[in-house]
């Protein structure tokens, strides 16, 4: 059942959330045994009587977002038994609108991963083929949607592509809003200048509904900006008809290069061409700084995340070992035990590039390159309304293929998503086709605060 239909039935009284939700949770529990997409299921959710826009909707939340009283691990052993004493702002907003939090979804530890294989707990499996990756780092969020027909709203998070990638691999819609549009209060940080909370759904409309509830300035996050808005009207048929015609779709040639699978390119290009029949025009453009986006992204993300992870040291919260030895020994023992390999790698790299003597070369340099990349996009949006490209360079890889990749090769898989994430642009993955049963995603990227525009394109065609 789709969310729209579920809401209608709840309003009519045909579905009673108090009865339906426990049934849904039971189903999720069973499915979880097969697909491992939940770290924590909320087996006794409080069913409120709030009659808002999400009345009675079961909501699943990526486990890096704090839910008061409900275990939140950020996919890491170091927070294995952590129970936040406060709610993230988006959780408050969802509950205010009648949404019911039923589970916390699997993820790469602290968001560190492209394939959701760096998980301390459940490693999620792609419902289209359980020998393949669900995509990362919001793997569980995408799997929870793709594995059944349940009317779930799935909240996820993206730093370098962590919403787009799993959405692409699992064949669902995944919306990453403009940086700052959705409050990060209560989001366990990966990289503060890059993290964005977003929505996954079975349709553009679902994403629009979710965004309408969570978006808008929050006084608890001083980098948040934007008014609350109803985004579902952009997915309205009449609006779409008027909107698409005459618009210019920019296709960046750098996103169709050698590193992208031929079949993926073909499927995505055909999908883009379909918009011509709705009156849009296609224009080939160039984003010359694209090749530096991967480095700039990783340098900044690693620098920030290595400081964010310093707080986990066995004091105040989180994993703790026996207190013996001095502070340095204690901190090291806790951190060595609690962090996975990828987390350690990133902390080491992130620490190195901030050190005296390297800081100028890497960290400060990357900040400047980021500026150039943002300007690249700004120039493109002077001529185009949206940009379109493949979301990922290939379909979901098999787990054993991933094992043979070096970290550098894994990082390189992000080439298509890092640049718009670095620039804080809104983007949405649209499932437009399949290769051997595995989903292929079209990425629609908009200018800052143009969520309405990309949603309207995303909802324009039924794939």
Partner 1 sequence: MDIEKVAKIARINLDENEKKEFEKELKEVLKIFSELEEVNTTNVEPAFNVIRIINISRKDEVKPSLRIKDVLKNSKHTEKNYFKGPRII
Partner 2 sequence: MVKIGLEIHVQLNTRTKLFCSCKNEASKKPNVNTCPICLGMPGSKPLINEEAIKKAIKIGLMLNLNFSKKMFFSRKSYFYPDLSKNYQITQYELPVGTQGYFLINVKGRIKKIRIRRIHIEEDPAQIIHVGGSITNAEYVLLDYNRSGVPLCEIVTEPDFESSEEVIIFMKKLLSYLQHIKVFDIRKCKWRCDVNVSIPKGNRSEIKNVGSFKGIKSAINYEIIRQESLINKGFEVKRETRHFNASTNTTELLRTKEEEIDYGYIFEPDLTSFELSSYIKDSEDNMPELPEEIIKRLIKEYKLSKNNAEILVQKDPLFVEFFEKCSKMYENKKKLSNWIVGDLFKCLNFQEKSLFESKIKPNDFVDFLNLMDSKKITERLGKELIKEYVEKGIPPRQLMNRKNLNLLSKKEILNVIEKVIKENPKSVKDYQEGKKIVIDFLIGEVMKKTRATADPKITRELLEKKLKNK
Please say which residue, 246 or 407, places its beta carbon nearer to partner 1.
407
Each residue 77-96 as x (binds partner 1 by CB under 8 A) or -, in order, gives: ----xxx-x-----------
Task: Say which of 74, 76, 106, 162 is annotated catalytic.
Answer: 162
Separation CA 141–CA 135 (nearest Å)? 10
Binds partner 1 (CB under 8 A): choice among 355, 383, 398, 437:
355
DSSP 448: T
Which residues within the stretch 207-246 sit at the binding site for partner 1 (CB under 8 A)? 219, 222-223, 225
SS3 of residue 55 by DSSP: coil
332 a catalytic residue: no
Structure tokens at 378: 């700004």
Work out whether 333 is an interface residue with partner 2 (CB under 8 A).
no
Of 120, 121, 152, 157, nearest in space to 137 by CA: 157
* Residue 88 binding: pick among partner 1, partner 2, none (C-beta 5-8 Å cut-off by kind): partner 2
Query: Phi and psi for 51 in degrees, rounded to 5?
Result: -100, 45
Separation CA 339–CA 104 (nearest Å)? 20
Distances (CA, A) of 7 to 23, 273, 352, 459: 16, 34, 51, 19
Please say which residue, 187 or 267, places its beta carbon nearer to partner 2.
187
b/e 222-239 (16+ beta carbons within 10 angstroms → b):
eebbbeebebbebbeeeb
Part in contact with partner 2 (CB under 8 A); list of ranges 2-10, 19-27, 323-331, 400-408: 323-331
Please say which residue, 36 or 67, places its beta carbon nearer to partner 1.
67
Work out whether 118 is an interface residue with partner 1 (CB under 8 A).
no
Work out whether 33 is an interface residue with partner 1 (CB under 8 A).
no
H-helix or E-strand containing 146?
Answer: helix 139-146
* Residue 374 binding: pick among partner 1, partner 2, none (C-beta 5-8 Å cut-off by kind): partner 1
265 a catalytic residue: no
Part in contact with partner 1 (CB under 8 A); list of ranges 160-168, 307-315, 381-389, 450-458: 307-315
DSSP 364: I
- Residue owning tokens 């370098």: 160
Binds partner 1 (CB under 8 A): choice among 315, 378, 383, 437:
315
Work out whether 286 is an interface residue with partner 1 (CB under 8 A).
no
Part in contact with partner 2 (CB under 8 A); list of ranges 50-58, 65-73, 252-260, 373-381: 65-73
Each residue 318-337 as x (binds partner 1 by CB under 8 A) or -, in order, gives: x-x--xxxxxxxxxxx-xx-
Separation CA 50–CA 55 (nearest Å)? 7
Binds partner 2 (CB under 8 A): choice among 22, 47, 148, 193:
193
Q: Facing residues of 387 across strands?
A: 250, 445
Each residue 182-211 as x (binds partner 1 by CB under 8 A) or -, in order, gives: -----------x------------------
Q: Facing residues of 444 across strands?
A: 388, 428
Binds partner 2 (CB under 8 A): choice among 315, 341, 378, 407:
315
Q: Yes or no: say if 103 and 60 are a contact pair by the CB < 8 Å rule.
A: yes
* Residue 65 binding: pick among partner 2, partner 1, none (C-beta 5-8 Å cut-off by kind): partner 2
- Closest approach, Cβ 120 to partner 1, in A, equals 16
Please say which residue, 322 or 382, places its beta carbon nearer to partner 1.
322
DSSP 70: B
- Closest approach, Cβ 363 to partner 2, in A, equals 6
Q: Where are the beta strands (DSSP E) in 142-241?
A: 153-158, 173-176, 196-201
Separation CA 290–CA 415 (nearest Å)? 8
Separation CA 280–CA 232 (nearest Å)? 21
Part in contact with partner 1 (CB under 8 A); list of ranges 114-122, 197-205, 264-272, 406-414: 406-414
Please say which residue, 195 or 376, places its beta carbon nearer to partner 2.
195
Work out whether 1 is an interface residue with partner 1 (CB under 8 A).
no
The total number of residues shown for the chain amounts to: 463
77 a catalytic residue: no
Which residues within the stretch 364-393 sit at the binding site for partner 1 (CB under 8 A)? 364-372, 374
Binds partner 1 (CB under 8 A): choice among 101, 167, 200, 294:
294
* DSSP-derived secondary structure for 91-126: HHHHHHTT-EEEEEE--SGGG--SSS---SS---B-
Q: Which residues are catalytic?
A: 62, 137, 162
């Amino acid at each position: 059942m789709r969310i729209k239909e579920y809401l209608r039935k709840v309003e009519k009284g045909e579905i009673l959330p108090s009865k339906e939700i426990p049934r849904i949770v039971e189903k999720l529990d069973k499915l979880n045994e097969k697909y491992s997409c939940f770290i924590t299921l909320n087996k006794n959710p409080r069913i409120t009587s709030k009659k808002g826009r999400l009345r009675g909707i079961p909501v699943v939340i990526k486990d890096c977002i704090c839910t008061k009283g409900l275990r939140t691990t950020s996919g890491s052993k170091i927070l294995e038994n952590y129970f936040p004493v406060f709610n993230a702002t988006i959780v408050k907003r969802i509950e205010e609108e009648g949404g019911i939090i039923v589970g916390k979804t699997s993820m790469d530890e602290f968001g560190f991963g492209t394939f959701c294989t760096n998980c301390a707990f459940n490693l999620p499996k792609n419902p289209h083929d359980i020998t393949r990756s669900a995509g990362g780092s919001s793997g569980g969020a995408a799997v929870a949607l793709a594995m059944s027909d349940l009317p779930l709203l799935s909240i996820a998070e993206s730093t370098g592509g962590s919403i787009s990638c799993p959405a692409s691999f699992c064949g669902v819609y995944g919306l990453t809003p403009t940086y700052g549009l959705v409050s990060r209060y209560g989001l366990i940080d990966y990289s503060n200048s890059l993290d964005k909370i977003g929505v996954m759904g079975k349709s553009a409309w679902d994403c629009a509904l979710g965004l309408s509830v969570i978006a808008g300035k929050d006084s608890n996050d001083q980098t948040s900006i934007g008014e609350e808005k109803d985004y579902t009207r952009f997915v309205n048929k009449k609006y779409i008809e008027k909107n698409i015609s005459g618009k210019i779709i920019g296709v960046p040639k750098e996103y169709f290069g050698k590193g992208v699978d031929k079949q993926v390119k073909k499927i995505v290009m055909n999908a883009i061409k379909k918009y011509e029949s709705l009156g849009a025009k296609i224009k080939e453009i160039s984003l010359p700084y694209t090749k530096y986006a991967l480095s700039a992204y990783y340098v900044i993300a690693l620098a920030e995340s290595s400081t964010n992870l310093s707080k986990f040291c066995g004091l105040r919260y989180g994993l703790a070992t026996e207190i013996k030895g001095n502070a340095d020994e204690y901190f090291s023992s806790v951190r060595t035990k609690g962090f996975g390999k990828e987390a350690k790698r990133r902390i080491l790299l992130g620490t190195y590039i901030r050190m005296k003597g390297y800081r100028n070369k890497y960290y400060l340099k990357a900040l400047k390159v980021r500026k150039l990349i943002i300007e690249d996009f700004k120039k493109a949006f002077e001529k185009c309304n949206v940009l379109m490209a493949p979301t990922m360079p290939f379909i979901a890889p098999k787990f054993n293929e991933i094992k043979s990749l070096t970290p550098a090769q894994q990082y390189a898989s992000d080439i298509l998503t890092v640049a718009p994430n670095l620039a804080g642009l809104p983007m949405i993955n649209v499932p437009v086709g399949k290769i051997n049963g595995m989903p292929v995603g079209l990425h629609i990227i908009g200018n800052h605060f143009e969520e309405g525009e990309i949603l309207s394109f995303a909802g324009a065609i039924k794939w």
